Structure 1
Amino acid sequence: MEVITTHINADFDCLGGMIAAKKLYPKAEMVFAGSQERSLREFFLHSASYAYAFKRVKDIDLDRVTRLILVDVREPGRIGPFEDVARRSGVEIHIYDHHQDSDEDHLSGVVEVIEPVGSTVTVFSHLFMERGIHPNADEATLMMLGLYEDTGSLMFSSTTVKDFQAAAFLLEHGANLTEVADFLTYEMTPEQVRLLHDLLANRMVLNIHGYDVSVAHASVDQFVGDLAVLTHKLRDMENLRALITVVRMGDRIFMVGRSSLPEVHVGEILSEFGGGGHAFAASATVRDLTLVQVLDRLASVLKRQVNPRLEVRHLMSHPVKTVAPDESIEHVREFLTRYNINAVPVVEGDCVLGLLTRQVVERAAHHGLGDVAAREYMESDFATVEPEDPIDILQDLIVRRNQRFVPVMSEGQLIGAITRTDLLRYMVDRAPRSEGGREPAEETAQTEYKPREVIRLLRNRLPERIQDLLEQIGRCGDELGVKVFVVGGFVRDLLLDLPNLDLDIVVEGDGIAFAEHYARQHQCRVRAHQKFGTAVIVLPDEFKVDVASTRVEFYLEPAALPTVENASIKLDLYRRDFTINTLAISLNGERFGEIHDFFGGLRDLRQKAIRVLHNLSFVEDPTRVFRAVRFEQRLEFHIGKQTEHLIRSAVRMGFLERLGGPRLLSELQHILEEEHPYPAIERLSQLDLLKFLHPSLDLPVDCEDLFDRATRSLNWFDLLYTEESCQRWLVYLLCLVTRLDDDAMQGLCDRLSIPGRYRSLLADERHRAHGVLKGMRRRWRQARRKPRNSDLYVWFEGFSIETLLYLMARIETEDVRRWVSLYVTRLRDEKSWIDGEDLKKMGIPPGPQYKEILRRVLLARLDGKATTREEEIAFVTRRYRSLIT
């Protein structure tokens, strides 16, 4: 008889693996060795798809078993009644597992298929691919359940490329993701909620050989199921790298371990308590010991089992494969594939010039940049380590700076490398501590804010109504069971102590549903945009709050608008432009004020640096070039070395030429709306960006003085309090293009797709203004006396306020500038006393001549020749006597 079985407390990976094994051994009986986890038990209650195929242990004659197929397990102590069968002489054992080897006792089989992947289902999926075996839709769905459960929906750190390939294979064969999601959705019972609360309250941190291991304990009288799920939740809530939960339930002690640190092998640790598992997940059940005894023993086991701190030299790989800076992107792509590596240093002689990752190379190739030299998109802003450095120094480089490949240097020579894969298990979420080695360089250190510090900043720097609003938004998120964050520029400026009340709220869920729920509670209006999953909440006082679902953006080609998909908060922040704009603050309940910094934004705020998140940022969205300059000048920061290199590369490659006019105009308008725009304009010129507005556009020597006079003119106009609106950016744009001829100006309008309402001002009105300017200058040189008021009126009549202020900026002489100010403050609003009705009463027949007559009357009034109603009538009587009947 053939029997397929798995470990006690079976989960979905066990189920999926057993279903897969049945395809390989169609005559075998499927038998669970013990109980199942609650999620699996509930599955059998709601789905009868495979219930008929499983048998109970009592229905099997164990003495007749000749072949034992073990799925997801190798330890004899974890297969219950089948342990004796496995040890019996003459029984053939076949093992399919994904757990790595450990020092504990494990079985050997005549067939062993063991691979270090995320789930046992992955092992079977690849066997199916190799042998041409095709699961049906139901089988694929059950296998996908196991794969998703054990890999955390392909997001656990233990997930491998093979797991993604297995998921694709199962999806091709009809795996139903809706059913997978339904069965993996987990709601806690009241008993589990209370137990989780107790575990949170009783968590302590033991520092073992420099590594933090959290131990949470609790005691309940009745059995509470799914301690493994609660352990997962506790780990995720507290963002822990190593956690062991110890719970007394009745007369037994249950232990569950989870770890992402290779030094903390929870499988080996819990094997000393009679349990087992692998390096990242394990469990044990203890009898005949009290909770206190288990905790005391656990402390000593941890000291013995947790490995001492390693040095870089213990993990580095050598020799290191390298590429030359002039090698093409396509060559580097083939190079990475050939050697099955994910990153490579770019080396010239003995000098490491930069780094290239597979991600950047693949994206560059996707955008048609295969012929471009490696030096164009290599990461030139990177850190190196020395072989004697402690592993801890790498934690900050990989976690905080997202440096996937770290060169190991000794006396100026490249002697090895550490990759992200090598160090994945060492990554931590706090600033590193170094024992016996050099401290991390200052530029890699991280400024951290505790929630209470962020709350204090919110209270000290925000109006009370905004504080209340943020708290209300957080409570709304709690009610809906979704995570809510305030993100982006608001967080950046809060930390920099700059005024900014533009609230950008993101929701890990349905942003529109969230906005509508909030609006119902607080009598607000909502404007929703279904296509993008965004909404605007309009409060009763007309204050607006932007709300969006967390999403990720994909660019199908350079400079194109992005394709949007739902994503996690981390991926949502990754789509943003610069690290300083990727900060988020949690608004939910007890996590209110917790700051999230996935990409080194806090570090760059402290260093006053503008940095993009990846090397193809300006290829995918070239408008970020202009935003980089704007933020640099507004915040008085500096563009990082690598980011400036990428900007110059984007300029050389001509990616900004692909930008549509409206997008380019929008970015230019934002720059010109800054309080002092000239430094940003000058920076654009330094980076050779002005040519993308028009090839003839450059900065004249006196441009800074022109902008300065424009600023003074605008400030002067603001102090008039006329309540007349003025587009400041148009005034500055006129200053920027002041040397362009009419044809070039028309070309710039076409390039930027200037709307009609502005085009006439920038083309026709500007042309006439330049003629008036030339005439005024000639008049001043020849006569050096003030023109008549009527002359000023004729010169400036019909000009917009923007053009008038531009003329004031163009005039260097104060006396001449007063001519324009006189027209703006008094002359342009003058009206004649008489009108058409008066002309009619005087006996002048109605007709087109009325307009000319009244204009002449107004000009006479401006020159003081007719200052009263009677004088105006007399003026008309004298001048137009022949028209009076």
Structure 2
Amino acid sequence: MKLPVILQTISQTLTKHHARAIIVGGSVRDHFLDLPIKDYDIEVYGLDSMESLEKILSAFGSVNHVGKSFGVLKFSHDGEEYDFSLPRREQKVGEGHRGFDVTVDGSMSFEEASRRRDFTINAIGYEVKAGRFLDPFGGREDMDQGVIRHIDEKTFVEDPLRVYRAVQFAGRFGYRLAESTKALCQQMVDSGMLESLPKERIYVEWVKLLLKSRKPSIGFEMMKELDALRYFPELEALIGVAQDPKWHPEGDVWVHTMMCLDVMAEEIAERRQQGAEMEESQKLKYLFAILCHDLGKATTTTFDDDGRIRSIGHEEAGVELTRSLMYRLTNAHDFIESLLPLVAHHLKPSQFYRANAGNKAIRKLATKVTIGELVVVARADFLGRTTPEALRGEYRAGEWLLKKAEELKVACKPMDNLLMGRDLIALGLTPSAQFSEILDEVYELQLADTLASKAEALAYVKERYIE
């Protein structure tokens, strides 16, 4: 296992103190999965105190005490940060993820210390000095089999977040739950243990599932199977909601939503491969928007007398349901609000294309939603089904709208106002409530191509409002 030089150096120093460094956790797992390793966690065996560890580390870089009460030191060297810890025992003494009594014990064996971890795939270690892997619970075999298996039944249930961790690992790696682990997770859900989890912790696991999975649907299908969607009724309500087979031969709204989610994840992955990496917040915006785009169908779907299925108004109906679902996960108000226009207008590209919408309509749409973003979401919606066009990867409506918006220079932002309040003042008008009416009127004429320059706008205001 390839390691930063500083970890090799520290390992050599630890050896002189009759201690040994073992790389643990996700970095070892990701090594076997051929994934890039971003964080290294190091457990140190053979020292008698955190103070001894801190003294050794301080000779090589700075040490931050955040997490010291949990037996963890943040070590920084040349701009990189590493988590060093001593093996620890955890005893459940109260409710929640903070209800543990933590004691460090450098004399523990690796197997004993690893027993507190959640899954076998996360309990593999790499002993730096010896250059060997330690795998007391068969994690590598489970990886080969594509299985997520818990380590210890007693300690596993002490933190119900592990149900969501199982879900996100399944989505990220395409693994299945061992039957014993699945039964345990099912018991935890059925007993209501997940109700005690703060939404901030759940959100972290959802973010990992969405951002790190090529097929996030695997994780959501597992939530469905475990009945964990009971805590997210806006999503659960999509199961079994019928759709017009002409437009949605793939099945119900849940099936369609999962297909759309995977299409979006694939789109993001392809952009990354092409060198067009997005900010994490932008990725999450797209992923949550497509997850929520059809929530309104659960409350608006009807059957005509002739059996035709309709979901009239589901776009607008989905706005409040999106708010409801997202606030179950996070209090990030601005982020949640940024999703709503994408949900409310996700059908506009197809509608505008069929109607051959004019410049004014496109410009007006740009005042409500970022058209470039909308096309990305609408494309995933269109391709997340099994129509012939979708299977061919064709989305002409989106291509058409994006081209039109780019020609009008409104793909990324609305048209700029020709006039501002200061321009009205320069014309001799006195600031008043009428200013907003005048500016709105001028802007509407801009959208309609009636006014094309500032000079024309000023002339219009002079003629209409200045005697």
Change (3 A) 1:619 1:481: same
SS state at 1:521 partner: coil
Instruction: Report the CA distance shift for 1:511/1:606 in structure 2 as closer, same or farther (over 3 A).
Output: farther
Which one of 701, 718, 733 corresponds to residue 255 of structure 2?
A: 701
1:683 Cα deviation after fit: 2.9
Query: SS of the counterpart of 1:528?
Result: coil
Residue 847 of structure 1: CA displacement?
A: 4.6
**Counterpart residue identity of residue 545, structure 1:** Y
The alpha-carbon deviation at position 581 of structure 1 amounts to: 0.9
Amino acid in structure 2 at the alignment position of 1:467: P
Tell me the secondary structure at the aligned position of residue 544 of structure 1. Answer: strand
Of residues 831-840 and 476-485 in structure 1, the stretch that sits farther from structure 2 once superposed is 831-840
Aligned to 2:77: 539
1-structure distance, mates of 2:130, 2:264: 45
Cα distance in 1 for partners of 2:152, 2:451 equals 71
Say if 1:665 and 1:752, in contact at 8 Å, map to a contact too. Answer: yes
| Whole-angstrom distance in 1 between the partners of 2:405 and 2:13 | 56
Q: Does 1:877 align with 2:459?
A: yes
- 474, 487, 490: which one pairs with 2:24? 487
| Structure 1 residue 471 displacement after superposition | 0.5
User: Residue 208 of structure 2: which of 670, 679, 682 is its match?
Assistant: 670
Deviation at 1:504, TM superposition (A): 0.7
Asked if residue 737 in structure 1 is aligned to residue 292 in structure 2, the reply is yes
2:416 matches 1:831? yes
Question: Is the contact between residue 21 and residue 42 of structure 2 (CA under 8 Å) also seen in structure 1?
Answer: yes
| Deviation per residue, 1:295-322 (Å, 9 max, x gap) | xxxxxxxxxxxxxxxxxxxxxxxxxxxx
> Counterpart of 1:755 in structure 2: which amino acid?
A
* Structure 1 equivalent of residue 398 of structure 2: 817
SS state of the match for residue 726, structure 1? helix
Structure 1 residues 474, 648: closer, same or farther in 2, change over 3 A? same
Partner AA of 2:460 in structure 1: R
Match of 1:555 in 2: 92
Aligned runs of 1:36-115 on 2, under 5 Å? none
2:64 counterpart residue number: 526
Residues 78-119 of structure 1: CA deviation (Å, up to 9, x unaligned): xxxxxxxxxxxxxxxxxxxxxxxxxxxxxxxxxxxxxxxxxx
Q: How does 1:274-285 map to 2 (within 5 A)?
A: none
2: CA distance, partners of 1:617 / 1:519: 34
Segments of structure 2 that go 5 or more residues without pairing to the other structure are 240-252, 297-317, 384-393
The aligned residue for residue 792 of structure 1 is 362
* Equivalent AA in structure 2 for residue 791 of structure 1: A
Q: Which digits, 9 at most, give the CA deviation of each residue in 1:735-755, with x for residues without a partner? A: 333343466545434543543
Length, aligned pairs only: 407
Amino acid corresponding to residue 748 of structure 1 in structure 2: L
- Change beyond 3 A, Cα 1:667–1:535: same
Correspondences of 1:146-185 after superposition (within 5 Å): none
How far apart are 1:780 and its partner, in Å? 5.2
Report the TM-score when normalising by structure 2: 0.73
Residue 611 of structure 1, CA deviation: 0.9
Cα distance change on mapping 1:723 and 1:639 into 2, 3 Å: closer
Deviation string 1:188-242 (CA, Å, 9 cap, x unpaired) is xxxxxxxxxxxxxxxxxxxxxxxxxxxxxxxxxxxxxxxxxxxxxxxxxxxxxxx
Letter matched to residue 125 of structure 2: A
What does the per-residue CA deviation read over 1:454-501, in whole Å, with 9 as the maximum and x for residues that have no partner?
xxxx3xxx4xxx431221221342355433221111112223333223
Say whether the 8 Å CA contact 2:289–2:342 is kept in structure 1.
no
Alignment check: 8 A CA contact 1:808 1:820 kept: no
Q: Which residue of 2 aligns with 1:806?
A: 377
The structure 1 residue matched to 2:428, chosen from 835, 843, 848, is: 843
In structure 2, the CA distance between the partners of 1:792 and 1:849, relative to structure 1 (3 Å rule), is farther
Q: CA deviation at 1:597?
A: 2.1
By percentage of residues, which structure has more helix?
2
Q: Pick from 105, 114, 118 the counterpart of residue 573 of structure 1.
A: 114
Q: Look up the match of 1:472.
A: 9
Counterpart of 1:692 in structure 2: which amino acid? Y
Counterparts in 2 of 1:528 and 1:660: CA distance versus 1, 3 Å:
closer
Q: 1:616 to 1:709 in 2, by over 3 A?
A: same
Decide whether aligned partners of structure 1 residues 511 and 791 sit closer, same or farther in structure 2, where only a CA change above 3 A counts.
farther
What CA RMSD, in Å, does the superposition of the two structures yield over aligned residues? 3.7
1:806: how far off? 3.4
TM-score, scaled to structure 1: 0.41
CA contact (8 A) 2:171 2:217 kept: no
- What does 1:39-438 align with in structure 2 at a 5 Å threshold? none
CA deviation map 1:435-463 (0-9, x unaligned): xxxxxxxxxxxxxxxxxxxxxxx3xxx4x
CA contact (8 A) 1:487 1:504 kept: yes
In the alignment, is the contact (CA less than 8 A) between 1:665 and 1:754 conserved in 2? Answer: no
The reply on whether 1:690 has 2:229 as its aligned counterpart is: yes
- The partner residue of 1:506 within 43, 54, 69 is 43
Amino acid at match of 2:222: R
Structure 2 residue aligned with 1:655, among 171, 193, 196? 193
1:651/1:688 contact within 8 Å kept: yes
| Partner in structure 1 of residue 391 of structure 2 | none
State the percentage of identical aligned residues: 22
Larger radius of gyration: 1
**Residue deviations 1:401-454, cap 9 Å, x none?**
xxxxxxxxxxxxxxxxxxxxxxxxxxxxxxxxxxxxxxxxxxxxxxxxxxxxxx
Q: What secondary structure sits across from 1:535 in the alignment?
A: strand
Corresponding residue for 1:602? 140
Distance in 1, matches of 2:145 and 2:342, equals 46
Judging changes above 3 Å, is the alpha-carbon distance between structure 1 residues 883 and 548 closer, same or farther for their aligned structure 2 residues? farther
Q: For 2:281, what is the secondary structure of its paired residue?
A: coil
Query: 1:714: how far off?
Result: 4.3
1:794 partner amino acid: K
The structure richer in strand per residue is 1
Distance 1:697 1:770 in 2: 15
| Alpha-carbon distance between aligned partners in 1 of 2:398 and 2:65, rounded to the nearest angstrom | 47
Matched letter for residue 705 of structure 1: M
1:431-450 matches, cutoff 5 A: none
What letter matches 1:488 in structure 2? G
Distance 1:637 1:821, change over 3 A: farther
Q: Is the 8 A contact 1:579 1:611 kept in 2?
A: yes
Taking the aligned partners of 2:205 and 2:424, their CA distance within structure 1 comes to 52
Aligned partner of 2:335 in structure 1 is 758
CA–CA separation in structure 1 for the residues paired with 2:265 and 2:132 = 41
The verdict on how the C-alpha distance between 1:872 and 1:512 changes in structure 2, with shifts beyond 3 A counting, is farther
